Amino acid sequence: DAGITQSPRYKITETGRQVTLMCHQTWSHSYMFWYRQDLGHGLRLIYYSAAADITDKGEVPDGYVVSRSKTENFPLTLESATRSQTSVYFCASSRSSGGPVADTQYFGPGTRLTVL
């Protein structure tokens, strides 16, 4: 039962480089999310996806690009990394958004990204 995995777990890169963070889930969840976690800000949503080929912006999308060609994968790309994007990135997934009942989001282990 792999659940939700992220790779790499740690990444150091330089300003201006392109970086892709990977997220894979084995539950066939419809929804997937990318968050960043910074001291003083808590978890903030970058992008989310409702299904394959359906993505939308969250609270802090600038500088990030996502795609979702397969239900199980949701990569996050920093097209030209900046120091302000140094953070811990978490991927999450949930079953669906429909109905009045709240759907639980399950989180991956995170990727710690440092931009020099």
Residues that bind another protein (CB under 8 A): 31, 40-45, 48, 50, 56, 90, 92, 94, 96-97, 100-110
Upper half-sphere CA count for residue 93 (Cβ side, 13 Å): 23
Which lies closer to another protein via its Cβ, residue 43 or residue 65?
43
CA 60 to chain centre: 12
Token reading at 65: 């690009």
Which lies closer to another protein via its Cβ, residue 81 or residue 108?
108
Q: How far is the CB of 59 from another protein (least distance, A)?
A: 9
Which lies closer to another protein via its Cβ, residue 69 or residue 104?
104
Q: How far is the CB of 80 from another protein (least distance, A)?
A: 27
Q: Tell me which long-range contacts 96-104 makes (C-beta under 8 A, separation of at least 24).
A: 96/30, 96/31, 97/30, 97/31, 97/50, 103/31
